[in-house]
Structure 1
Amino acid sequence: MPSFSSSHKVNHNAEDMFNLVADVEKYPQFVPLCQNLNVRGRKELEGGRSILVADMTVAYKLFKETFTSRVELRPEEKVILVEYLDGPFKHLENRWTFEDAGEDICTVGFYIDYEFKSRTLGSLMGVMFDRAFRKFSSAFEARADQVYGV
């Protein structure tokens, strides 16, 4: 199964970075390949946690696919967990972590592993997805600079 992980420091605090990543409705404005994102529903849980179900449409040239995920936001832990529900994947798991590392500095951890249902689609899209995931961290960091200042 293809996977990708990264961990690096950014010049923003963990709470701000958590909030930025948790604001999934804004992804089409800056996330690579994300053409559309629609939140189907949101449920507030105890301890400030919440769960949402969202459809994300990714597009690149002639390729366009929509998949559904369950997103669990854990603000107290500064963790976001994404679980795949439906679409072109056989499996997709994504995890974000945010840890303060000084004044207005945090370490952002990003992990994803996935497998397409179709080998053909996997071979066509695998390289492009890998490149996009490598750009995710910088896209979110650039967005944080824009939203919170440098």
Structure 2
Amino acid sequence: MEAELEVGFQVIHERYTSQVTVHYPNCVVARVGDSSLFKFLENRWEFQPGPVAGTTWLTFGVEFSFKSALYSHIASVFFEQVAQRMVGAFEARCADRHGPSSLERGSPVQAPSSERA
């Protein structure tokens, strides 16, 4: 399926289309190939059974490269904040649908070690 999304942070507001693939029930992958904004973008949401019955662990990963050097610099400075907003929005939607979390939050967002060329 395709999904139209918007990147919005500080002064950046851009729209793009992702190809979303659901590997039910364990994984959702959203990819953007060559677009006006990205060289590439991949978001991966992986779900594993949690330590308590009825709970789920979520691992979120994102790999990307902007076409613009300015956007690349901004992303490197604000990566953690942007990723936390994405995960926060996901958690809020889960709470709306399934109720509040019964587990403590896992590891904080980690900055990327490197970008693909």
Length-normalised TM-score, structure 1: 0.57
Mapping of residues 11-22 of structure 1, within 5 Å: none
Q: Which has the higher contact order (CA 8 A, sep 6+)?
A: 1
Mapping of residues 58-137 of structure 1, within 5 Å: 58-76=7-25, 78-85=26-33, 86-101=35-50, 102-137=52-87
The more displaced of 130-139 and 98-107 is 130-139
The more displaced of 92-101 and 126-135 is 126-135
Secondary structure in structure 1 of the residue aligned to 2:76: helix
Secondary structure in structure 2 of the residue aligned to 1:143: helix
| Offset of residue 109 of structure 1 | 0.8
Q: Note if 1:142 corresponds to 2:96.
A: no
Checking the alignment, whether the CA contact within 8 Å between 2:9 and 2:82 is kept in structure 1 is no
Checking the alignment, whether the CA contact within 8 Å between 1:68 and 1:87 is kept in structure 2 is no
RMSD (CA atoms): 1.8
How many residue pairs end up in the alignment?
98
- Partner residue, 2:5: 56
Change (3 A) 1:135 1:60: closer
Seq. identity, %: 27
Long gaps (5+) in structure 2: 101-117
Bigger share in strand: 1
Long gaps (5+) in structure 1: 1-51
Length-normalised TM-score, structure 2: 0.71
Distance 2:94 2:30 in 1: 21
